[in-house]
Amino acid sequence: MSKPIALITGASSGLGLAMALRFRSEGFVVVGVCRHRPGFELDRWIEADITLPEDRDVIVKAITEEFDGIDVLINNAGKGSYATWEEMPEHDLRDIFELNFFAPVLLTGKLLPFLEKKRGTIINISSVAGGLHVPCMGAYCATKAAYKLYSDSLRPEILRRHVKVMTVMPGRIDTGFSSRALGARKPPETPGGGNADRFAAKVFAAYRKGRRCLIYPFWYRLVMMLPGILPGLYDRKNIQLWRL
Ligand SMILES: NC(=O)c1ccc[n+]([C@@H]2O[C@H](COP(=O)([O-])OP(=O)(O)OC[C@H]3O[C@@H](n4cnc5c(N)ncnc54)[C@H](OP(=O)(O)O)[C@@H]3O)[C@@H](O)[C@H]2O)c1
């Protein structure tokens, strides 16, 4: 029997790389997508900027020519922003929505027939920020909230086509992600956070169980309840943390 195929966007660093290694160690052929091919080998790299329509076509062409379908698509490539709404230039706002929302939605649409062939699974990487408003990260939160709602509403739409959808909401995991974010502000130093390899193991286990949603680390579930229970305190704490 041929090995299952996983296509992972943003597989060259951070969470994407950790998931690529995990799925590979579990017997998958991993196809990684990123703009700049890194120095290490994967089963197949596709150099593509997923925000460009012509590059999305390059991905579809490679899959059509080289594989008979996709078992797992992980929409992971994304970036953060650390700026107030007032500080955010229009270009950056459009840029972050392009990468975190429009690109994975449009790419998924093009790859759906390949997932259908294999009765595959789409794993959408949102963020706990998609369920939690954070000042100075408003634009990022908005992209990830939109992406979570896209992911959850896509699930019932394609269930009859035997394609599953899992929404993943990671909390802070140190990958160097902050240093690549848009905006000039620095996020406050807060304790805690997750580990990329443990995250990847949790994603794989949740995928195997056919879960609809994963929040990692689990205690972010409680943090996400705070604005609903203590909205004033939550906002005051954030004003203090972000020195607003
Ligand atoms: N780390 C965290 O704390 C955290 C928390 C919650 C959610 N997340 C989410 O998890 C995902 C991965 O985060 P990370 O921390 O692993 O980020 P990362 O280390 O900055 O990695 C981002 C990856 O995306 C690729 N990428 C960026 N722009 C791209 C484009 N236009 N087209 C194709 N690939 C592109 C990058 O490669 P190239 O630069 O070569 O293209 C890289 O492989 C993101 O969606 C992020 O929002 C992260």
**Reported pTM:** 0.98
115 CA → ligand 1 middle, Å? 23
Is the torsion defined by CA of 69, 206, 101, 15 positive or negative?
A: negative
Tell me how far apart the alpha carbons of residues 9 and 150 are, in angstroms, rounded to a whole number. 17
Q: Is the CB of 232 under 6 A from ligand 1?
A: no
Tell me how far apart the alpha carbons of residues 77 and 167 are, in angstroms, rounded to a whole number. 14
Please report the atom of ligand 1 found closest to the CA of residue 176: 19
Q: Is the CB of 34 under 6 A from ligand 1?
A: yes
**Amino acid 190: pLDDT:** 82
Do the Cβ atoms of 74 and 19 come closer than 8 Å?
A: yes
Cβ atoms within 10 Å of 156's Cβ, excluding its own:
9
Q: Is the CB of 35 under 6 A from ligand 1?
A: yes
For ligand 1, atom 31, which residue shows the shortest CA distance? 49
Instruction: Render each residue's pLDDT in the chain as its tens digit; 244 residues.
Output: 689 999 999 999 999 999 999 999 999 999 999 999 999 999 999 999 999 999 999 999 999 999 999 999 999 999 999 999 999 999 999 999 999 999 999 999 999 999 999 999 999 999 999 999 999 999 999 999 999 999 999 999 999 999 999 999 999 999 999 999 999 999 998 877 899 999 999 999 999 999 999 999 999 999 999 999 999 999 999 999 999 9
Q: Is the CB of 115 under 6 A from ligand 1?
A: no
User: Which among 111, 91, 87 is positioned nearest to 99, based on CA atoms?
Assistant: 91
Phi, psi of 230 (to 5 degrees): -130, 70
Tell me how far apart the alpha carbons of residues 237 and 226 are, in angstroms, rounded to a whole number. 11
236 CA → ligand 1 middle, Å? 30
- The residues, ordered by sequence, that sit 6+ positions from 162 with a Cβ below 8 Å of its Cβ are 116, 119
The superfamily CATH assigns to domain 5-241 is NAD(P)-binding Rossmann-like Domain (3.40.50.720)
User: Which among 31, 46, 196, 64 is positioned nearest to 125, based on CA atoms?
Assistant: 196
For ligand 1, atom 1, which residue shows the shortest CA distance? 173
Residue to probe by mutation, ligand 1, list 76, 100, 126, 182, most atoms within 8 Å of CB: 76
Tell me how far apart the alpha carbons of residues 176 and 174 are, in angstroms, rounded to a whole number. 6
Secondary-structure percent of the chain, ordered helix, strand, coil, rounded to 5: 50, 15, 35
Do the Cβ atoms of 10 and 35 come closer than 8 Å?
A: no
- Residue whose token pair is 């704490």: 237
Cα first-last separation, the chain = 58
Residue to probe by mutation, ligand 1, list 34, 96, 220, most atoms within 8 Å of CB: 34
Q: Is the CB of 172 under 6 A from ligand 1?
A: yes
Q: Is the CB of 36 under 6 A from ligand 1?
A: yes
23 CA → ligand 1 middle, Å? 17
The catalytic residues are 12, 126, 140, 144
Q: Is 240 helix (H, G, I), strand (E, B) or coil?
A: helix
Per the structure block, which two tokens stand in for 37?
């091919």
Tell me how far apart the alpha carbons of residues 223 and 201 are, in angstroms, rounded to a whole number. 22
**Amino acid 1: pLDDT:** 66
76 CA → ligand 1 middle, Å? 6
